[in-house]
Amino acid sequence: MANNQNENQTNQQSQNAPDFLAWHVIDKGEKSFWNKVGAAWKHKDDKGFTIQLEVVPINGRIVMRQPMDDVKD
């Protein structure tokens, strides 16, 4: 039953836009390289987040940022 609940939660998350995107950031000299590694969704009670990572970096840092709105010309 818990497995089914996790599947439902994952399906809901994939249908809802994430509240934050997770970025792996590596600093090399004066440059920083950002690669998207996952996303996060706020809990309904606003007391936490569900974080889904596609990869787990072994170095650098993970930065959570709100998604930017698409800019249309």
What is the Cα–Cα distance from 31 to 54, expressed in whole angstroms? Answer: 24
Q: Is residue 56 part of a domain?
A: yes
Total of domains in the chain: 1
CA dihedral 40, 14, 3, 36 (to 10 degrees): -40
Q: Tell me the residue range of the domain where 56 lies.
A: 17-65
Q: What is the value of pTM for the model shown?
A: 0.70
- pLDDT by 10s per residue, the chain, length 73: 555 555 555 555 557 999 999 999 999 999 999 999 999 999 999 999 999 999 999 999 999 999 987 655 5
